[in-house]
Chain A
Amino acid sequence: MTDECKIGVYVCNCGTNIAKVVDCDAVAEFALDQPGVTVAKSYKYMCSNPGQEMIIEDIKAEGLDRVVVAACSPRMHEPTFRKALQTAGINPYFLEMANIREQCSWVHDDPGEATGKARALTMAAVRRVAYHEPLEKRSVDMNSNVLVIGGGVVGMTAALELAGGGSRVYLVEREDHLGGNVARVDLTAPFLDSARDVVTSLVTRVTENPRIEVLLESEVTSFEGFVGNFETKVVTKGNGAVSSEFQVGNVVVATGYQQFDASRVTHYGYGKLPNVITSFELEQMLRAGCIETKEGRPPHYVAIIHCVGSRSREFHPYCSRVCCMTALKYAHEVRSAVPGCYVSDIYIDMHAFGKGHEDFYRGASEAKTLFLMYGKNDHPVIRKAGPKDDCEMLIEVNEKLSGEVIEIPADLVILMVGMEAQADSEATARLVNISRDKDGWFIESHPKLDPVATTTDGVYIAGACAAPKDIPDSVAQARAAAGRILARSIHGTIEVDAVFAEIDEEKCSGCRICNDLCPYSAIDFDEEKKRSTVISAVCKACGACVAACPSGAITARHFTDRQINAQIEGVLA
């Protein structure tokens, strides 16, 4: 089979990412010796414009009809190279990639072994590509309606952007009001704008927008279908449960985060010491305009402890990103609300990464906040003060910069609780068919190149449901997700992958085993002909029916038995 083809093999060095472990020239030389291979080259960056140009020119000049690119994961650049094939005038499905970066050079250190494996993977791709068939992408309708799950700042921003672009938006919020976590905050760091203003203006615009339907006290109970053509059911509680059904083309998941439960950190005595409170409890005091201890006295000494639940071995390993600046904001707000109050800020590292953050940090330092640095696994210890002390509590800090154990007084201790994934994030992930990382955050399609899309086409994530984020970053993501959806909705139809299952009527015995096996009910039975047929628009190409058909009548396009068998032969050749 390979003999009849003119295959071009392109081995990417990925700068030194691949070439420092894999001998790319040797892989190309090896490939050139294989039957059917006309051209084999090794090049610095295959995905770069010159790299793609090289492939395109070779296809034209040498009359190549198949292309193998041995480079990064196909999950990364398969679309790039398919486009190059198309530009050169051959069917984009005549491409096969060999993953010699993520699954080879980045995980092996012995050059001999890594090169051997890269050769085997390239060989498998060469053998497989010979059996590739030209496929045409399918065009499906794109419903311009959008479902937005979560009515916080992110959900509202996305909804407004989408409605502005002409979409009808269903904004689903499970609480009885919009605003999410930001609605619980007083001022925002570092510019000290009012969070209430941010939320109020969004809520007004959302509720007044005729294209946005807000469903409060509501939850999405089912979400079925595929990009452009989803059907969803929303149940609204309140006065008896009412169920509504909507058809939407895309969904934005903006379910945000929940605050870390401070009582899990037993050593700070939250829930036991009355004047140890969380950052959100302080926000409540700030919003009410009254900072006081449980005894109703204004505090003389306020201590702020960073990284509660974050950056810890026991709880969450990640940084929650917003707490450092919020803590500085508290130092500022507490001092203006309670003049003469001493504020100490007990931190691990000061993360001042964003716009205006460093200036804000400097401002707080100059305003006589006492900064004390503690070690990551050497947390401060809080104890109740004695009758002779002029404060409620004493905090012992093993201060890292001075190397001394310092005891400071406190009347009010504020625990900077981190962000964590919503308790029901697993259920949400299953509902819309996306994945979660080890900490429960939703996984994006690509963290750098495709941060708001997911591996499920038509499902977008924005804001803190994907990882801790501050308001500017979250708003940027909300608009990004809306922009992505609008750009794809504009034509009314979209192209989807040409990969689906097909049943050979001649071979089908009409046993109907496949009918019940399909999770999408994509297989119809023709009672007259006594044969099964696949509804291609509904098929998602999992291949369950293909492996189960006793007559071998079902073919998975682009994942045929012949293609996979050739690959098996290739890796073992």
Chain B
Amino acid sequence: MSFEPTIVGFLCNWCSYTGADLAGTSRIHYAPNVRVIRVMCTARIDPTFVLKALHDGADGVLICGCHPGDCHYSEGNYKMMRRYPLLKKMLADYGIDEARVRLEWVSASEGQRFADIVDDMTQRVRELGPSPIKEGLARDMAER
């Protein structure tokens, strides 16, 4: 059986979560691998949430927020945008492939875009295989 990744999605309430809901009301089908956690704004996303998700077994983490300039809180997404490169750098140090964590902008009207991003990311993480953290943890548990 082929590997099916589990991806944790953090979506801002105003743009991206609404965009994901729109994909639903428009019946746009996409891969079932992303499990969404709603936050009010991407600025709320503590980098430790991403690390925790990877630690707890996620094969990837998708963060979606409002397009630059469209943030419901005027500039929350810029804060995420600034945290993101630091987070990526840290993940690289851990040896985690950068394709496993992704930041995307999805507006409330972009249901199709959300579906496309989910499909694309699922495919890319599927190709990467299970997260090394998940495998490492499994190995540690077995040795214990």
Residues of A at the B interface (CB closer than 8 Å) are: 73-75, 99, 101-104, 106-110, 113-114, 116-117, 120-121, 124, 430, 433, 435-438, 443, 455-456, 499, 517, 519-520, 540-544, 546-548, 556, 559, 561, 564-565, 567-569, 571-572
Contacts and interface: CB of A to CB of B under 8 A. Distances in A.
A433 B15 CA distance: 12
A107 B23 contact: yes
B40 A559 contact: yes
A456 B108 CA distance: 13
B39 interface: yes
Given A108-B29, A437-B109, A542-B44, A99 B36 contact: yes
A116 B31 CA distance: 13
B104 interface: no
B69 A430 contact: yes
Interface residues of B, number: 50
Nearest to A556: B44
B70 A546 contact: no
Nearest to B31: A108
A444 to B, nearest CB: 11
B40 A564 contact: no
B44 A120 contact: no
Nearest to A120: B35
Contacts of B96: none
A430 to B, nearest CB: 7
A135 B30 CA distance: 36
Contacts of A73: 17, 21, 24
A312 B24 CA distance: 25
A543 B74 CA distance: 13
B38 interface: yes
Contacts of A546: 44, 46
B18 A75 contact: yes
A117 B79 contact: no
Contacts of A116: 32
B99 interface: no
B40 A543 contact: yes
Contacts of B23: 102-103, 107
A106 B24 contact: yes
Contacts of B24: 73, 101-103, 106-107
B14 interface: yes
Contact of A435 (B21, B30, B40, B108): B108
A519 B53 CA distance: 28
Nearest to B29: A107
Given A435-B14, A443-B109, A568 B79 contact: no
Contact of B15 (A435, A520, A559): A435
Given A543-B39, A571-B37, A519 B109 contact: no
Nearest to B44: A543
Nearest to A440: B109
Given A435-B107, A572-B58, A121 B27 contact: no
Given A106-B24, A542-B44, A546-B44, 12 more contacts: A99-B21, A104-B32, A107-B27, A107-B32, A435-B70, A541-B40, A564-B37, A564-B49, A568-B37, A568-B58, A569-B56, A572-B57
Contacts of B75: 519
Nearest to A105: B24
B30 to A, nearest CB: 6
A542 B29 contact: no
A110 B74 CA distance: 39
Given A107-B23, A568-B49, A572-B56, A435 B76 contact: no
Interface string B32-75: 10011111110111111100110011100000000001101111
15 contacts: A101-B24, A103-B24, A104-B32, A107-B28, A108-B29, A435-B18, A438-B110, A542-B43, A544-B41, A564-B39, A565-B49, A567-B37, A568-B49, A568-B56, A572-B53
Contacts of A102: 20-21, 23-25
A455 B38 contact: no
B18 A455 contact: yes
B8 interface: yes
B70 A430 contact: yes
B21 A543 contact: no
A390 to B, nearest CB: 50
Contacts of A74: 38
B32 A540 contact: no
A433 B66 CA distance: 12
Given A106-B25, A435-B107, A543-B40, A571 B35 contact: yes
Contacts of A103: 20-21, 23-24, 36
B101 to A, nearest CB: 14
Interface centre among B15, B20, B46 (most CB of A within 10 A): B46
Contact of B44 (A437, A455, A547): A547
Contacts of B53: 568, 572
B25 to A, nearest CB: 6
A384 B47 CA distance: 67
Contact of A108 (B15, B20, B32, B107): B32
B81 interface: no
Contacts of A556: 40, 44
A547 B46 contact: yes
Contacts of B115: 107
Contacts of B36: 99, 103, 121
B108 A75 contact: no
Given A102-B25, A108-B29, A443 B108 contact: yes
A74 B38 CA distance: 10
A456 B27 CA distance: 26
A543 B43 contact: yes
